Structure 1
């Protein structure tokens, strides 16, 4: 199973926020788009969605921004993926319709595989994947230009 880019980027954004030494700092979309080389419109949609889900606190206005709203240890990866992915179905047997559908065992086997995949994710939290925060932060580009100047 492969995650959509939307979910992948959502997880990366949460990792970025969770890895920061000062989690109370407000971040701007311009910083995330610079760090991950993503479209600001795409990042804005993801930030908005993560805010609606309660993972990110967003503050509007000139001095606004966003920050992590939940402790990383309280963000379960299976729950997060389930909330961000539009579908966890590995195959669609209806479009185009597959003639094997009435007698096929593949869909059941793939459903078990997805359940196992989600079970592994359920064992981990955001805190687990940012346990090496210092190393993660070292991989990021130097943002010596003030992010406030970028916005």
Structure 2
């Protein structure tokens, strides 16, 4: 399993905002991009989505910028990753279910259920397509591997759901020192 750069940059952005010396002061995308040596234009899309999902606040204008909208202890890593990863389709017999990326806050569902809800499901590969052609892998109806992959992804998400942004910034002073050196 490999997360996209998009998720990596989203996590880095949240870390940057969480370890600023004065968390309520505004930061800007250029500072984050410079600190991590990543593309400002790519980061702009990520920051926009994090704002839509309620992880950061954006203030427009001459003295505008961004800051965390939630306390680091309230940002669950598993929930975040499920919201921003485009899919978890390790093999072709997985299909992505509709995601919450349109701004629906999955955090409430997480607090209530505390159970893994992956944005994917196994599909019946023996199903016939609209052209009456069989789709996918020929062994899918009897394949044991797809169940193992599903179990592995579930375990991956379960581990992430056990951590928050606060857990990964417990060395805040060291992180802030490294990020301010740029």
**TM-score normalized with structure 1 length:** 0.88
1:82-107 alpha-carbon deviations (Å, 9 max, x no partner): 0110112222237x832222221111
Instruction: Report the structure, 1 or 2, having the larger helix content.
Output: 1
Q: Which of 85, 103, 125 pairs up with 2:164?
A: 125
Q: Which of 150, 161, 179 pairs up with 1:111?
A: 150
Q: Secondary structure at the match of 2:175?
A: helix
**TM-score normalized with structure 2 length:** 0.74
**Structure 2: 5+ residue stretches without partners:** 94-124, 126-134
Counting matched residue pairs gives 142
The root-mean-square deviation of aligned C-alpha atoms, in Å, is 1.5
4+ long deviations beyond 3 Å: none
Contact 2:25–2:67 (CA under 8 A) maintained in structure 1: yes
**Structure 1: 5+ residue stretches without partners:** 144-151
Distance 1:132 1:112 in 2: 32
Contact 1:57–1:69 (CA under 8 A) maintained in structure 2: yes
Structure scoring higher RCO (CA < 8 A, sep ≥ 6) equals 1
Corresponding residue of 1:136: 175
Contact 2:21–2:176 (CA under 8 A) maintained in structure 1: no
Question: What is the 5 A alignment of 1:72-87?
Answer: 72-87=72-87
